[in-house]
Structure 1
Amino acid sequence: AFWMPGSVPDAEVVVEKPSNDTLCPACNKPLKLKDLVPVRFTKVPGDKEGRHMDPVTKDIFTAATKLVALKPTGDVVALDTWTKVLRPEGEFKGHQLTDKDVIELKTGGTGFCARDGDKVVSEKHFALGPGSGRQDLRGQHRSARSLGGLVFMN
């Protein structure tokens, strides 16, 4: 019986004590206070819904917008803005920017399965057989005419 001390099986797996350090989810190294960056979202002026926008292009962020945070200023911009505008210029609000100064932010789901592109594979399947227009009916369903039965006219 499991409630008797002599019949209880011994635990073979030993669980290690968790670390007291807060770990970075990207690189799994301990986070330091000096590594943290205050993130600033630009609000849409006069918007009652509390939406945010790109400070450079003034495009409103949606659930499908890929975002990056800039370390020197903490501003959040769209990934397209970073690649097309800020990276070629190399400067934003008086700060020089390099690829190391950009932190890519994770996006939430949009509800569409094909949002991330290469993760979803779509294939088209055709039914083969009589009536599909893709099957050669010679030899199949062809025999002597019946005197009142089903006749295929393909």
Structure 2
Amino acid sequence: MTRHGKNCTAGAVYTYHEKRKDTAASGYGTQRLRIGRDAVKDFDCCCLSLQPCRDPVVTPDGFLYEREAIVQYLLHRKGELARQRKAYRRQQQQEREQQKQKQSPQAAGGSTDDPGPSGTLPSFWIPSLTPEAGAERLRKPEGGARCPMSGRRLRLRDLTPVRFVPVEPGLRRQQLLALPQGSRYRCAVSGDPLGNASPCAVLRPSGSVVTLECVERLIRKEMKDPVTGEALSEGDIIVLQRGGTGFAGSGICLEAQKSRPVMQA
């Protein structure tokens, strides 16, 4: 095959390479991309900042966050929800006042050309300003902030501190981060290296990180924390959510998809 084989336009077959090239250039059709290992989050990185955690905490669903990042997020969401509740109560008050005005015996229908309370005339060309179009209704805000990853309700007291055991205790943080992923931390019980390829769990009483193999073989037999000796329940064993390894068999979706308009004949 010549060096211009992929760009040949005299063939009778519309090749897959030509189809993908035309799809990317046209701006139509769904695009898919296989994500490599560089785009996968390491197991010890925050789900918000995507950086290695200094003060890690874990949610009951196993998502790891930097304490500062998740606290700022929860406080920001709390302020947003407070503003939404205030606007929702104001809307309910206005609806009650309008209902009272409609039920009053002195309420009489006026011309549609009369300016409203705001002094603006209705418009028949803009859908949102027609006489039949009402004001946009606000939905009732949620009761509290939710986890940005799982979507479940999350409170500060639900966060559990995590204590990673470094492979070499004397290393500084810069030296520890310079090590390759999988060589930074080890299991608090067995000493096995931790990484995306090794499923691990967090024990709530001590915050220690252990492998799931250690949990199944040792910890579940006595249901005690091997570090503190406290009794454990099923809720105290939090399976840590981890990223993929770059291989399709890791069980993580490694394909990105972007939906765009499709031209149909």
Please give the alpha-carbon distance, in whole angstroms, between the structure 1 residues aligned to 2:230 and 2:251: 32
Alignment root-mean-square deviation, CA: 3.0
Please give the alpha-carbon distance, in whole angstroms, between the structure 1 residues aligned to 2:249 and 2:159: 33
Q: 1:61 to 1:37 in 2, by over 3 A?
A: same
Q: Secondary structure at the match of 1:64?
A: coil
Amino acid at match of 1:28: R
Gaps of 5+ in 2: 1-122, 178-183, 254-265
What is the aligned residue count? Answer: 113
Q: Which of 197, 202, 209 does residue 76 from structure 1 map onto? A: 209
Structural mapping, 1:114-133, within 5 Å? 114-116=249-251
Please give the alpha-carbon distance, in whole angstroms, between the structure 1 residues aligned to 2:199 and 2:212: 6
Amino acid at match of 1:34: R
Displacement of 1:59 in angstroms is: 0.7
2:158 is the alignment partner of 1:40: no
Deviation track 1:52-102 (CA, whole Å, cap 9, x = no partner) reads: 110111111122221211111111111111111111132222111121211
Q: 1:17 to 1:7 in 2, by over 3 A?
A: farther
| TM-score for the superposition, normalised by structure 1 | 0.59
Moved beyond 6 Å, runs of 4+: none
Any conservation in 2 of the 1:55–1:77 contact (CA below 8 Å)?
yes
1:111 aligns to what?
A: 246
Please give the alpha-carbon distance, in whole angstroms, between the structure 2 residues aligned to 1:111 and 1:14: 46
More helix by share: 2
Q: 1:67 to 1:8 in 2, by over 3 A?
A: farther
Please give the alpha-carbon distance, in whole angstroms, between the structure 1 residues aligned to 2:145 and 2:188: 31
Amino acid at match of 1:9: P
Gaps of 5+ in 1: 120-154
2:194 aligns to what?
A: 61
Please give the alpha-carbon distance, in whole angstroms, between the structure 1 residues aligned to 2:221 and 2:143: 42
1:133 aligns to what?
A: none
Amino acid at match of 2:212: L
Any conservation in 1 of the 2:164–2:186 contact (CA below 8 Å)?
yes
Any conservation in 2 of the 1:87–1:98 contact (CA below 8 Å)?
no
Overall identity of the aligned pairs, in %: 33
Displacement of 1:107 in angstroms is: 0.8
Q: Secondary structure at the match of 2:157?
A: helix
Deviation track 1:91-127 (CA, whole Å, cap 9, x = no partner) reads: 222111121211111111211111129x9xxxxxxxx
Highest relative contact order (Cα 8 Å, sep 6+), 1 or 2?
2
2:221 is the alignment partner of 1:97: no
Q: Secondary structure at the match of 1:21?
A: coil
